[in-house]
Amino acid sequence: MRITASYKVSDTTAFKRKLLEWAQSFDEVVWFDSNGHRDRYYSFDTLLAVDALTSFQTDFINGFDNLKEYQSATKDWIFGYLTYDLKNDIERLSSGHTDRLKFPEIHFFQPKKVIRVKDKEVLFDYLNIVADEIQTDYEMFLSKHSYKTDIQLNNQSVKIKMGIFKDEYFRQVKKMLVHIHRGDIYEANFCQEFYAENTRIDALKTYQRLNSVSKAPFATFLKLHDKYLISASPERYLKKRGTKIISQPIKGTARRSDDIKTDRKLKLDLQESSKERAENIMIVDLVRNDLSKSARRGTVEVEELCGVYSFAQVHQMISTVVARVEPEKNIIEILKETFPMGSMTGAPKVSAMKIIERLEAFKRGLYSGSVGYIDPKGDFDFNVVIRSILYNDTEKYVSFPVGSAITALSNPESEYEECLLKARAMRDVLENG
């Protein structure tokens, strides 16, 4: 059972900063920040879960079935992640690359404390065993007390390495294009890794810096003991609200410009690009097919096709696909039937994933997976883990992969430049501190 209390705050910016700093005293933290972005499916400004009462982690073998049992047993808030390599639980696939980050393939926990911020209201949702701490916690957040993290490091010493160099990237993209031209696939998301070894970073400060420059709608800070996700994701994988499910795939990226006229032209060029629209539409078709596995017949529809939205550093082409599910439909089955998200695989999905595994040079793990929550009513919301820094403090390993969609119209040089554009914020934050 949970006890809920609501309070008003006048300065939500200061309150949120203290909230996230306070959360660092716990071993399990999931923080979501919408950064002021509000579409029709907006639910909160900030959502925080800390301090596990129970937790669940496993590898991919029967991963979704085991998650189903855990969610059914708790019937409460659970927060956590699904790694890309859960594809191996769904299809006859494998992951052969070295795992240098060592994240379990699924990890969820039932938090003792859930705190939501929306407008000027803060909602505390605490389990009974800690409910007497609500008032104390609230008063601490309003005080002038400053929270300090245990690790105080700067990132000046981070030396970024490339998983593959430019020539190798070109060779692999050309191999991908051979598969496309002979009809094996229509599109595939090809990714490369940037990384740093023997490196320690202050994860909280790194997140704060990345979030300040990116201001993404699905920004996430995840801490599970020694493992961290620092994410400026702009993309929603899947949301469930009642019997409605919503997916918002992104395909199509253009840089921003400080010059207003140039910026408008870049946005218009993206909107009118036949290549970018083709990429987006192919993934929309894949998402429609994925949702149809769970949906009531005739309820899958495209609410918006190839809308262009502007973020702090890039313009993005986003579509919205929705469907209706039966009330008794198992929520973990919905995730299983649509995972991994089409924007990070390609079409046809299984063929694309096989080719991706052969041509990429690293294990994706949590990158291109998803972080999210399931609430006590069975509603959920999950993002796409892109524009993200992954960090294992014990291994002293930092990783930030990036990728782009390869189609018949792709030019390797342009795709490479798109990857560098997507990597820029993360690289700047790590290298420049």
Catalytic residues: 235, 251
CA angle (272 as vertex; 268, 277 as ends), nearest 5: 125
Quote the CA–CA distance of 373 and 295 in Å, as a whole number.
21
Q: Give the span between the Cα atoms of 348 and 327, in whole angstroms.
A: 29
Residue with tokens 């798109």, as numbered in its chain: 418
DSSP string over 26-78: SSEEEEEE-TT---TT---SEEEEEEEEEEEEE-STTHHHHHHHHHHHH-S-E
Give the count of alpha carbons within 13 A of 212, CB side only. Answer: 11
Supply the angle between the helices 203-214 and 412-432 in degrees, to the nearest 10. Answer: 130
Q: Which residues of 331-359 are buried (b: 16+ CB within 10 A; e: fewer)?
A: bbebbbbbbbbbbbbbbebbbbbbbbbeb
**Rounded Cα distance, 159 and 140, in Å:** 38
Q: Are 403 and 192 in contact (CB under 8 A)?
A: yes
Q: Which residues pair with 406 in a beta bridge?
A: 188
d(CA 20, CA 219): 13
What is d(CA 371, CA 107) in angstroms, rounded to the nearest whole number? 10
Angle at 100 between CA 52 and CA 68, to 5 degrees: 40
Q: Which long-range contacts (CB under 8 A, 24 or more apart) does 71-74 make?
A: 71/108, 71/331, 71/332, 71/374, 74/110
Distance CA 308, CA 317 (A): 4
DSSP 193-256: -EEESS----HHHHHHHHHHHH--TEEEEEEETTEEEEEEE--EEEEEETTEEEEE-EEEEEE-
